[in-house]
Structure 1
Amino acid sequence: MTSIATAPKPGAAGLRRPASVRTAWLLIGVGVILVLSILSVSFGVRAVSPGDILAALGGHTDTVEQAAIVKRIPRTVLAILVGAALALSGATMQAVTRNPIADPGILGVANGASLAVVIGLAFFGATGAFTQIAVAVVGAALAAVFVYAVGSLGRGGATPLKLALAGAATSAALASLISAVMLPRVDLLTAFQSWQVGGVGGAEWPRIAITAPVLAAGALICFACSRGMNSLALGDDMAAGLGENVFRTRLISALGAVILAGAATAIAGPIGFVGLVIPHVCRMLIGTDHRWLLPFTALAGSALLLAADIVGRVIAPNGEEIQVGIITAVIGAPFFIWIVRRQRVREL
């Protein structure tokens, strides 16, 4: 199989970074998530006190503030789950394709999941959480296979530039198909528009309970392939020489990434750039060893989405909210331009 270059190589400082430094960053990540979770429950249209939080956790909903806290808790949990899933999916896609700008949104995977969900809603009345997740995962997988196939055409195989172009073209085409399916359905259009932006405001415990095991399965698949991802970063020939089954590792890792992206999109909508921004930041802090990078990426993704949700609630005027998909796009678009300029992605 042709090598698909320019992801960071793990042979130098990345893999030799002291374990104590990595452990410290992981503990910091956990602490940041705890702080942001408290802030997520505390801030919103109506401010609450620590006493209200404790009372709400004890099952009391006697006041408006306590009732608001009860609604914010599933929202906070959903932000943690979806942020971790998208970041972990992006890091895995970058490892599998050895493409520094791989991301569920950029490679068209998110829009593939979105189109599948929309078709299920419009034509088959698929409103159940598990059904939507299953449909979204299938749509994400088909989009990923199509983009990789198109990007592999021609000389040089699936280079980073060709994958990015194929993903961008596919994503645009899928977005047009989504609009074509939804425009005649006025009854679904309003609800879909809010979902299409991407957000965690509609979090409900039953849907979270169904989605969480699927996300856990996708995460476990990615974690199980972390050692193989280190081998892939050395190049296909080197990985094969070390005894790695390159095709199997790439296929199983991609399956985990697709499950994560599809399930996260089904429950929260297509939230972009989390899978692009977070892995790059984490490599700077913790190195390129995927056995450490993937867990830290999951923590950092949760922190980013929690922070984006809090900011969207705080800065919006008149009690309105700005969806997290908008906040992450504002952060991610300049970062994407910076990555492209820094990596000098080109044909190989």
Structure 2
Amino acid sequence: MLLPVMLFKKIYCFLIAHSYFVVKILRAVITTFIILVLSFFMVRASGNPAEIYLGDNATPKMVEYFNKKWGLDEPLYVQFLTYFSSVISGDMGDSLIKNRPVSEIITERIPATLSLMVPAAAISMFLGIILGMIAALHHKKITDGGILLASIIGFSLPNFFFGVILIYFFSVVLGLLPSSGNDSFRHYIMPLIAIITADVAVFTRFTRAALIDIFEKHYITNFRALGIKEKRILFLQALPNASIALLTISGFYIGSLVAGAIVTETIFSWPGLGSLLIASVKARDMPLVQGLILLFGISIVAANLIIDFLYGVIDPRIRKRAS
């Protein structure tokens, strides 16, 4: 009797001591479950999957056979419980069009998306933070104005705008670069430029705003009064204190990388997850659409969970306030 009590006490003390992390994990699990529920019901909100997939010329027997084959003749709650248990066990079902496991199809496309989005993210974050630092150091000067104007333009125009312009000039007019595929390094140039041009603007604006806000604090004024150079203040005080704000935007950006590939991959016919989603929607491939929506949602939840953990590590005061 004593052993279970002691074990329970140890578990309880552990949960209390790490309540910040426990709460974040529970919140991530609940959010993932909500995404799973939404992905299931959103696909079915457009109507009967059998009628949508088979078309107007489908006979009642064809609809009946389709429903029975894919379990659509069961009550909705039974369908959901079946889908939920399958997802938990790692089975997202089979594609209606390709008649292959959804997880297998998605896994094949992940490398193509990551090979494009990871370098784009790394370059965008690096350039955006550097430009934001330069703008903050030259606040209210010509350099700051030029960077701010460029970032506003880049922020306002969507990825597909840059993509279309690039394809027109470098593929159609000049014939220098291929407009589709991912077979060689040349195929990466235009998609990367299209993504980076828009995303650098986001990081530039957020970095600039965060640093300018810190530069206006009283303790920064005291450092200036001591004769400490502006660049030294930037690296030793402003940048570390802006890390939480930069982590926030970085977490959201990294989490939405996979979903953000949809537009770019469609424009450049890139064989990744984004183009796969568009193709599956057009083909009315319900299981594949569900699997992709779930994957996009989980990637955002996972990224935010990692960022929340980093918050607690970087600034222990956040953990204490949460506890």
Greater helix proportion: 2
Q: TM-score range by the shorter chain?
A: 0.3 to 0.5
